Structure 1
Amino acid sequence: MQTILIVGGGAGGLELATKLGKTLGKSGKARITLVDKNTSHIWKPLLHEVASGSLDTDTDGVIYSAHAARHHYHFQHGELIGLDAGQKHIRLAAIYTDEGELLVAERSLPYDTLVLAIGSVSNDFKTPGVSQHCYFLDSAPQALRFHRALMNNFVRFSQQNDDRALNIAIVGGGATGVELAAELYHVAALAKRYGLSGMSAQKLKIHLLEAGPSILPALPKRIADAVRKELSLLGVEVLENTKVSAATAEGFITADDQLLSAEMMVWAAGVKVPDFIARLGIFKLNRLQQILVTPELKAKGQEAIYVLGDCCGFQQQDGRWVPPRAQSAHQMASLVGQNIVRQRRQKPLKAFVYKDHGSLVNLSRYSTVGNLMGNLTGNSMFIEGKLARFVYISLYRMHQIAIHGWWKGMLLVLVEKMNRAVRPKLKLH
């Protein structure tokens, strides 16, 4: 029986495990195993909502072990720390309890086919002090850590009788930084409903720092201009052309040696593939440490290893790299699933062709803007407001359907709406 290992349970990895479980695992043609260092899945574009408290991982997360049992694959909890491509096995780190007791010893897993979908982490560009003083939003545990600190600050500032504001500085004017800034104003306004009477959006001051000339540099200027205007109306101070040279306990030091004071600091200035991939010395990498792949999404020089998602370095014919987005991971997972099946049947493998369907930026409950790419003309259509919000939500619904199926996906939508009607709109713990 073929052994297929998928390392990384993000958008692409989980969708692939679900698909292969249905096509190969259910019939006993292959043993599908998903490996992840976390025990549950949250769609990465929603991590800013986890950080703000708008989304509760306890009710909105997908438990890997339970999902695996229903979809005919297996789950292994563990973090990838080694790979022997010659002997075809991976090595997983030991697992310890919160008290430091050994729970599961370091172990190896063999494979016939390996799929790397390990995602990306924040790129601090080796800026001094960032790793010590900043919050990151690469995973649900990191987002929850930020949320706990945020709620503690809400409690502290709600008890103060003066007009001092809670200062939060966010470095990175991409989608994560922009969406987090808007979401924080939303939850600050909600806090007053839940006993924090001294807290409000007026007691929150957010600085959004972008090193380049414009926020959302990967999107059309019209979208960036619309978002900048909305953020300014909320009260966000957008600081473009502002490079950060260091982070301290008091705040960020800018390139012109100015201190931007902040009680909380978030680093969301770009991503890279985790450093241990480079340390393996196995793969060819680009400057973001993404693994270079063939047109069929196999790691160059590795016949038995596929790569997808943020860690995949795929250069298109026009020279541009496929961006690290959820839609990229979804498309790659679909092709890798097809190619694994085609390879089993000794059929020619398909080449990957990226289709950009546009980008959307959700400014919490205030606005949503973006562009959709026309399939027929290739032109971009600007959308905003309720239509953009509907399309934005639909992207998440498509992900839910991909991992749960149509019927259960729709049932989950109904359950979510019921939960939102009865539970607090802000996670308070």
Structure 2
Amino acid sequence: MSFSAQPHRVVIVGGGVAGLEVASTLGRLARGRRRFEVTLVDRDSAHIWKPMLHTIAAGTSDISQQQTTYVAQARAAGFTYQPGEVAGLDRTAHALLLAALYAPDGRLLIPARRLAYDTLVMSIGSRANDFGTPGVAEHCFKIDSRLQADAFNQEIRLRTLQCLSQGGMLSVGIVGGGATGVELAAELVQLVESSVAYGAHGLAERMKITLIESGPRLLAAFPEDISAATQARLEALGIRVLTNARVSQADEAGYVLADGSRIDATLKVWAAGVKAADVLANLDGLEVNRANQLVVRPSLQTTLDPHVFAMGDCASCTPEGAAQPLPPTAQVAHQQARHLIRYLPDMILSGRSVPAFAYRDMGALVSLGAYDAYGSLGQYGLFKGVTFRGRLAQLSHTMLYRSHQARLHGFWRGSLLWLVDCLNRRLRATIRLD
């Protein structure tokens, strides 16, 4: 590969688990060198570890303590942050098209612009898929992002105050029995218990939570014993769990099921299905699947353009010899990020090709807040297929987050953040009260 005086421009779109880890690590490598430079693009201003969003939504975690602002992280890690939302792609000119950004009151903040790249990495994650179900867009909350989780938290605090001051019931209906729906349901129980401890007497009797799953069991991606144990634990906490219940419509009062029955819900959350952003379907002809995911080769390069990579939930990657694409999970996104961190610098600096990505199924974890946690060791290692629960599973879930913080901030700063969180749990309110 020949080099010009201009540094190789690496543009990463999406500051989620995978995108921010790649930007932070490559930014540190690029610091002090003139061979390449790293830019991160995201429409939001801060990052929160996606498996923690349900705690932000419930208010059992403080959003200001758990978020990493992109501007501060860019300064610490040596990359450039550009606020923006993808509007399109010009592959011939190697330019990413960014839409204009507006303030909530309609004022123009940043005009539409073009951002040049030599290597582009798409990592914009995914969102819940309502499958075109009538009424979902108008009446249901989603918690796919930091801002969505915060919006739900603000609404549930207002509804709780109304419930306590005006009487009546507060019913919450969650559609989707995957990890997000299950963990949110448990976290809301914890919210109620903590609220009662702070003086919200009678809230436990007035708040009802229903979890609705269209399939035959919760946590379909987990072993059956974990699914059964999780449902039993949720029901013991007072949550109504419905399986084999497909929602055909959402309205202001709740949900209508396919069999014609109704589920009343003052607050409605849609946490079912996975779909990549619609903009990916129109990225200058790049190949996508039915879920709008960019189809990539085992090297994580898109099938039609070797200069464009994709990873995480927005990528459809079928490993060599596999029959099905990898699932859109945080574990896959993390491993793909580590793969690009390892091989992109060699590609940029030495012209070497990126080898095929090899996925290792390390298992899965689901946390029911303070009540329980469950895990499986997956299909890799000595104890493959083993399931476990309780303190070991809770510790494992915690360590995933702390490892993510260490990768972003370094071992010592990550350890200090953990210490601060431990101190805050003792010194501050256990739920958001502002």
Equivalences for residues 14-413 of structure 1 within 5 A: 14-160=20-166, 164-200=168-204, 202-316=205-319, 317-344=321-348, 345-373=350-378, 375-377=380-382, 379-413=384-418
Rate the CA distance shift 1:376–1:58 in 2: closer, same or farther, 3 A: closer
Contact map agreement 1:134 1:267 (CA 8 A) in 2:
yes
Structure 1, unpaired ranges of 5+: none
Distance 1:204 1:315 in 2: 44
Contact map agreement 1:244 1:253 (CA 8 A) in 2:
yes
Return the offset for 1:351. 0.9
Contact map agreement 1:306 1:336 (CA 8 A) in 2:
no
Contact map agreement 1:293 1:312 (CA 8 A) in 2:
yes
Deviations 1:309-360 (A, max 9, x none): 1001011323122111111111111111222112121224221011111111
Deviations 1:75-126 (A, max 9, x none): 0011111111111111111122222211111111100110000100110000
Deviations 1:361-381 (A, max 9, x none): 101110001211364346211
Amino acid at match of 1:14: L
Deviations 1:208-261 (A, max 9, x none): 111111111111101101101100100111110001111111110100111211
SS in 2 for 1:271: coil
Using the TM superposition, name which of 41-50 and 275-284 deviates more: 275-284
Distance 2:132 2:414 in 1: 42
Return the offset for 1:28. 2.9
Distance 2:254 2:379 in 1: 43
Return the offset for 1:198. 3.8
Amino acid at match of 1:249: E
Using the TM superposition, name which of 270-279 and 126-135 deviates more: 270-279
Distance 1:31 1:348 in 2: 19
Q: Could you tell me the TM-score, scaled by structure 1's length?
A: 0.96
Rate the CA distance shift 1:100–1:195 in 2: closer, same or farther, 3 A: farther
Return the offset for 1:27. 2.2
Amino acid at match of 2:250: A
Rate the CA distance shift 1:213–1:374 in 2: closer, same or farther, 3 A: closer
Return the offset for 1:160. 4.3
Using the TM superposition, name which of 78-87 and 368-377 deviates more: 368-377
Contact map agreement 2:126 2:276 (CA 8 A) in 1:
yes
Distance 1:26 1:224 in 2: 50
Q: Could you tell me the TM-score, scaled by structure 2's length?
A: 0.95
Deviations 1:260-291 (A, max 9, x none): 11100100111100111113352212222211
Contact map agreement 2:361 2:380 (CA 8 A) in 1:
no
Distance 1:81 1:263 in 2: 35
Structure 2, unpaired ranges of 5+: 1-6
Distance 1:179 1:15 in 2: 24
Contact map agreement 1:185 1:204 (CA 8 A) in 2:
no
Percent of pairs with identical residues: 39
Return the offset for 1:295. 1.1
User: Which of 4, 7, 11 is the equivalent residue of 2:13?
Assistant: 7
Contact map agreement 1:136 1:268 (CA 8 A) in 2:
yes
Distance 1:226 1:378 in 2: 20
Q: Where does residue 4 of structure 2 map in the other structure? A: none
Contact map agreement 2:59 2:431 (CA 8 A) in 1:
yes
Contact map agreement 1:159 1:198 (CA 8 A) in 2:
no
Return the offset for 1:19. 1.0
For the aligned residues, what is the CA RMSD? 1.4
